A and B are shown apart, each in its own frame.
Chain A
């Protein structure tokens, strides 16, 4: 069975500093992994996805994530946080016919 664990429920950073949102996955086969972002009162937006091509995946808005099989991790990073990055972020693994979401990490960005 597939699952994801988001290691932090809340992350707070100052504007202009790096962002790290941690995610570990469990999968019985080579997984497809995603990060989605949810802004208040908005839909879920795909940030990036990994599907067994390059292990370093670049997404929208300057985010990227690295697939590390040895660590079963897929952490999301951004070099410099912006106020508009404040949102809820979900790490997601693709099961055989559905997406399985983590519990989410709320990112706060302080000026």
Chain B
């Protein structure tokens, strides 16, 4: 597609439920990133893939959070047993490679509200 596509754009879920957020990166982009942005804050790094390999997951807050990119294209961020503190905008981004200085393109994000 023309840009990074994320779905759903808005998700309201009850505490304790699992949620899956999907990211479809720009075609041909090798690197894919997940960020979380709380209200009034800058985006914070969660995890990153090169092709299907998860290169860095140091930003995942705890083991309820996981991500995969099985075929090196579409990625899914899964949050198990959601808690209210998980409410945030989850942003996906992709870039042509992981070289420093490469332009990273962001999707419009998925707003998650846990009630």
Q: Which residues of A contact B (CB under 8 A)?
A: 32, 36, 42-46, 49, 51-52, 90, 94-104
Query: Chain A residue with minimal CB distance to B47?
Result: A98
Q: Name the residue among B40, B45, B48, B101 with the largest chain A CB count within 10 angstroms.
A: B101
Q: How many A-B residue pairs have C-beta atoms within 8 angstroms? Tell me.
A: 55
Q: How many angstroms from the CA of A97 to the CA of B40 in the assembled complex?
A: 25
Interchain nearest-CB distance for B94 vs A (Å): 12
Q: Which residues of B contact A (CB under 8 A)?
A: 3-4, 33, 35, 40-45, 48, 55-56, 59, 91, 93, 98, 100-101, 103-109
Interchain nearest-CB distance for A74 vs B (Å): 14
The binding surface of chain A is classed by DSSP as loop
Assuming A32-B100, A51-B101, is B107 touching A98 (CB within 8 A)?
Answer: no
Query: Chain B residue with minimal CB distance to A52?
Result: B101
Residues of A with C-beta under 8 A to B108? 42-43
* 12 A-B contacts (beta carbon < 8 Å): A43-B106, A46-B104, A51-B100, A52-B101, A94-B101, A97-B48, A97-B55, A99-B45, A99-B93, A99-B104, A101-B42, A104-B41
